Amino acid sequence: MGVAVRLIPCLDVDAGRVVKGVNFENLRDAGDPVELAATYGAAGADEVTFLDVTASVDGRDTTYDVVGRTADTVFVPLTVGGGVRAPEDVDRLLRAGADKVGVNTAAIERPELISEIAHRFGSQVLVLSVDARRCGPDTVTDSGYEVTTHGGKKGTGIDAVEWARRGAELGAGEILLNSMDADGTTDGFDLEMIRAVRAVVDVPLIASGGAGTVQHFVEAAQAGADAVLAASVFHFGTLTIQEVKDAMREAGIEVR
């Protein structure tokens, strides 16, 4: 018996409010990330992730407050990603109460950032978020996948599988692999991409993008994901955490 495959609901937070609607009954305020994190924690979420999509500096201060209030009441791990550009940002989020911090664009621009964070805070705090898509006609990479920025709109020409491998080598403690092709489709995860990254990284791998049915989660775990992250299927009540876990357990996958 080893560790269980984790289920991670992800909330987009802008200036202290959840954006990209959440449709739950029995919530006083469906826009309050603290309340939502607590709801997910009570429902059996193994971790909670906040993606901070705030653009303004003032808004970011609100994020720290939200992180702090969440850590005060929700006793499962909390990851916060978005806008992390320097070790100081990591320091602030950890002090506020985050357990792990997601890094994305800034690491593409300056890969040394990964080592700097890992050295100072340990690999276990650093989740390298890789937004990847299949290469279009104008791009060629060895794996056939490229890293994107700006929410999948801009290609970088960087091989996504190689980038994940290098990120782990530089000190990332986890890889969050988000398929920009599958994201929002509810047609299932990009299993081929999960397998390709699994084959080259030996840190935990979180699969993201495309979840629509319980079977999709099972497939992602079977393809080698150590954790599965999803947003809308949980937010809109299409699936509950418990339903997904039951299906995984039935398929012989260890869950909590």
- Chain contacts with another protein (rule: CB under 8 A): 1-6, 41, 46, 68, 71-73, 75-77, 94-97, 99, 121-125, 173-174, 202-204, 226-227, 256
Taking the complex as a whole, how short is the minimal distance between the CB of residue 95 and another protein, in angstroms? Answer: 8
For tokens 């992250």, the residue is: 229
- How far apart, in whole angstroms, are the C-alpha atoms of residue 27 and residue 36? 8
Taking the complex as a whole, how short is the minimal distance between the CB of residue 55 and another protein, in angstroms? Answer: 26
Q: Which two tokens stand for residue 233?
A: 């299927």
For tokens 């692999």, the residue is: 177
- How far apart, in whole angstroms, are the C-alpha atoms of residue 189 and residue 219? 8
SS3 137: coil
Taking the complex as a whole, how short is the minimal distance between the CB of residue 213 and another protein, in angstroms? Answer: 23
Q: Is 122 or 151 the residue whose CB approaches another protein more closely?
A: 122
CA angle 20, 231, 12 (to 5 degrees): 45
Q: Is 119 or 154 the residue whose CB approaches another protein more closely?
A: 119
Taking the complex as a whole, how short is the minimal distance between the CB of residue 168 and another protein, in angstroms? Answer: 10
Q: Is 22 or 38 the residue whose CB approaches another protein more closely?
A: 38
Taking the complex as a whole, how short is the minimal distance between the CB of residue 121 and another protein, in angstroms? Answer: 6
Closest CA to 189 of 202, 205, 178, 204: 178
SS3 226: coil
- How far apart, in whole angstroms, are the C-alpha atoms of residue 223 and residue 201? 13
Catalytic-residue membership of 12: yes
Rounding to the nearest 10 degrees, give the CA dihedral for residues 112, 123, 18, 62. Answer: -70
| Active-site option among 32, 52, 131, 159 | 131
| Active-site option among 12, 46, 89, 190 | 12
Taking the complex as a whole, how short is the minimal distance between the CB of residue 223 and another protein, in angstroms? Answer: 14
Sign of CA dihedral 84, 88, 93, 99: positive
Counting beta carbons within 10 angstroms of the beta carbon of residue 240, is it exposed (0 to 12), middle (13 to 18) or buried (19 or more)? middle
Q: Is 76 or 161 the residue whose CB approaches another protein more closely?
A: 76
Q: Is 167 or 173 the residue whose CB approaches another protein more closely?
A: 173
Q: Which two tokens stand for residue 23?
A: 């449709």
Q: Is 99 or 116 the residue whose CB approaches another protein more closely?
A: 99
- How far apart, in whole angstroms, are the C-alpha atoms of residue 188 and residue 215? 8
Residues forming the active site: 12, 131
